[in-house]
Structure formats: C-alpha cells, structure tokens
Amino acid sequence: MPEPATKVSLTGIKPTGEPHLGNLIGAIRPALTLAEEYDSIYFIADYHALTTERDPAAFRHYTRSVAATWVTAGLDPNRTVFYRQSDVPEIFELTWAMSCVTGKGLMNRAHAYKAARDRNIDAGEDPDFGINMGLFNYPVLMAVDILIMEADVVPVGRDQAQHVEYAADIAGSFNHLYGDSYRFKIPEAVIPEEDSAHTVPGIDGRKMSKSYDNTIPLFLPENKLKKLVRRIPTDSTPVEEPKDPNSSTVFQILEHFATPDVIADTRKRLEAGGVGWGELKNQLFEVLNAEIAPLRERYNELMEPGSDLDTYLAEGAEKARERAGKVLRSVRKAVGIS
C-alpha cells in the first residue's frame, strides 16, 4: 500500500497594517505548528488588502512587513511554500472561471458584504454606497487561493469560517458541472477557540485588533514598546492592596508570553498585595522585550531592500505557480478553453 500523501495546510494573511502580538499568537504560531505535521502553503494576501488599502507606500510596506514577520517567526522557506498572492497570476485566471460557477446570491449573503450593506441602510444611504467590486468578489478570490493549491485544511480566525465554507461550496458547484474531468478537493477550516487562552487583549482591554487601534506591533523599537505598555489602563488600587489578576489587561497579556512558573508567581504576588501596576508593567515589558529583541534584528534585516526575503518570495512564487499551473491546466481543459 502506498503511504497516503501528507495533507496540505494553507493560509493567507492580509497586509493591512503592522503585524501585532495577537497575529503572532492567534495566527502565525498556530500555522507554524501545523507546518510540522502538514505540507504547508502560507502566503501574503496582498490582492485582498487592495479592497481597502489606498496608500501605495503603506501597502508596499505592510506587504513586506507581513512577509518578514512570517520568516522572523520561524517559517522555513525550504519547507513551506511561501509567496505573495499577486506573484501567482494563475490565481486570477482561475478566479474568473470560478466566478462563472458561483451564484450571485451566495455572494449577497457573505458576511462582510452584508455588514457593509446593513451599515449603509442604517445610515439611510444607498445600500451599495462606497462598496467596491473587490469587496463583493472577495470570497471568490479567497476560494481560489485555497482551491488552486489543493489545500485540505485552512487555519483561520472564526470571522473567516464562512469564507472557507464558500470555498467548499464553490468547489462543489464546479465538481457538479465538470467533475468527470476534474474535481477540486473540498477544504476544511481549522478554527481556534475564541477564549482568553487564544485571544490577546489590546492595550484598551478589548481584543487586540488593527480595527480598534489598540495593538502592540511586533517589532517596535524598545522605547516605543515600553511606552505602549505604559499606556495600558489600570485601576487605582494602591500598591499595597491585593489585586485581581484576571481583571488586569497587563496580566492577561503577560499570560500569553511568560513561562507558567512566572505566571503563577506573578498571580500570587498580585493577590497578596504589595505589587503596584507600574511594577507589573515593567515586568510585562521585560518579558515581551526578551522575546522580541532577538527577533527584531532579523526582522529589520529582512525589511531592507534586496534582503533574503526577496529571494524567498521569488523562489516561493515559482513553486506556487508550478502547483497552481497544474490545477489551472486541468480546469481549462475541463471547461473547454483548451
């Protein structure tokens, strides 16, 4: 019996801002863990970001920053197929073919589009005010990202679950029509729990997110990191009073980065009283900085024009195009273009 082929894990990150601690804990590290067990395909979803990004210089910077973050966090380009979505034109060709088997009604029901429409309706605007076709077609492009690489599992946040279901639906429509000639693999989402063990709070205590402007970007210079940590609000409990670690944002962030011993010890010291919030913030800064400092240098190196990153991305694009090209050729044949 031949060994079953290793399954493929695929995910993309949209370059819409500086990668932050939440992205590392919630997306990048879990995906890198999957890469130990699965064949892995990880990319920068730059065309998806173009649905909202209007500043070319910022867009260029975020794309490079997300790519550099993957590598700095441990992605091994020899082991993982790693590329920029826009370097793989096969994705766009397949997007058209798949749009032609996708019901418009399905797109009308997509969460992001529906939410934008509902906001317009509530504001008394035309329902489609300010909505571009990129936003409307977003789920088809994402389906193709997944299907063209024949992915089995797609690690994503809960907000992306519907998109992976759509990818499975769209693959099903194609298979129904052309399945005698070519069948897409049906992908499945892998979604982390949204509990406190998997969600990093931002500096205002809500979930850390670029949309809340409350993030701690990963590779800030040391002094800026210190300043941000200082800004995390705390209550006015005096130094000597006992404190509740569970209601402290500083402690909750610490929990994601300190060792279990340090977390247990800090919890005890807070509950006993005698530790001020300022001291806890210093501790958080030290823990974060110890983790990030060695990575910061590598990140800054990779961000330089002409660094290894360009080689990794060029080689990755070649591998990705080879893989995508095979699927695209089968599809062209199946639908009757070639």
Q: Which residues are annotated as a binding site?
A: 14-16, 22-23, 145, 157-159, 200, 207-211
- Return the number of the residue (43 or 285) whose C-beta is nearest ligand TRP: 43
**According to the binding rule CB under 6 A, does residue 156 interact with ligand TRP?**
yes
- Determine which residue in the list 154, 200, 208, 229 makes contact with ligand TRP, applying CB under 6 A: 154
Distance between CA 100 and CA 103 in Å, rounded?
A: 8
Residue type for 220, please? Answer: L
What is the per-residue DSSP string for 223-272?
HHHHHHHHTS------TTS---GGG-HHHHHHHHHS-HHHHHHHHHHHHH
- Return the number of the residue (169 or 279) whose C-beta is nearest ligand TRP: 169
Distance between CA 316 and CA 80 in Å, rounded?
A: 8
Q: Which stretch binds ligand TRP (CB under 6 A): 4-12, 212-220, 228-236, 328-336?
A: 4-12
- Return the number of the residue (18 or 255) whose C-beta is nearest ligand TRP: 18
**According to the binding rule CB under 6 A, does residue 146 interact with ligand TRP?**
yes
Q: Taking the complex as a whole, how short is the minimal distance between the CB of residue 16 and ligand TRP, in angstroms? A: 8
> x/- binding map, residues 167-206, to ligand ADP, per CB under 6 A?
-------------------------------xxx------
Q: Which stretch binds ligand TRP (CB under 6 A): 101-109, 155-163, 177-185, 250-258?
A: 155-163
**According to the binding rule CB under 6 A, does residue 334 interact with ligand TRP?**
no
Tokens encoding 303: 């961000």
Nearest to 143 by CA among 7, 48, 256: 48
Tokens encoding 130: 């300010």
The size of the interface with ligand ADP (CB under 6 A), counted in residues, is 17
- For residue 136, count other CB atoms closer than 10 A to its CB: 18
Alpha helices by DSSP H, listed for the chain, are 21-23, 29-34, 46-49, 56-72, 90-99, 104-108, 111-122, 133-147, 161-178, 222-230, 249-257, 260-272, 277-303, 308-335
Distance between CA 41 and CA 156 in Å, rounded?
A: 13
Q: Taking the complex as a whole, how short is the minimal distance between the CB of residue 68 and ligand TRP, in angstroms? A: 18
Nearest to 13 by CA among 36, 54, 47: 47
> x/- binding map, residues 146-165, to ligand ADP, per CB under 6 A?
----------xx--------
* Contact assessment for residue 20 and residue 215, using Cβ atoms and an 8 Å cutoff: yes
Nearest to 109 by CA among 172, 153, 148, 165: 165
Nearest to 40 by CA among 155, 175, 141: 155
> x/- binding map, residues 35-74, to ligand TRP, per CB under 6 A?
----------x--x--------------------------
- Which residues are part of a known binding site for ATP? 14-16, 22-23, 157-159, 200, 207-211
8-27 residues near ligand ADP, rule: CB under 6 A: 13-14, 22-23, 25-27
* Contact assessment for residue 283 and residue 270, using Cβ atoms and an 8 Å cutoff: no
Report how far apart, in Å, the C-alpha atoms of 280 and of each of 45, 222, 254 are: 37, 17, 9
- Return the number of the residue (157 or 273) whose C-beta is nearest ligand ADP: 157
**According to the binding rule CB under 6 A, does residue 48 interact with ligand ADP?**
no
Return the one option of ligand ADP, ligand TRP, none that residue 145 interacts with (CB less than 5 to 8 A, by type). ligand TRP
Place of tokens 């996708």: 102
Return the one option of ligand ADP, ligand TRP, none that residue 210 interacts with (CB less than 5 to 8 A, by type). ligand ADP
Binding residues vs ligand ADP (CB under 6 A): 13-14, 22-23, 25-27, 156-157, 198-200, 207-211
Binding residues vs ligand TRP (CB under 6 A): 10-12, 14, 45, 48, 142, 145-146, 154, 156, 160, 163
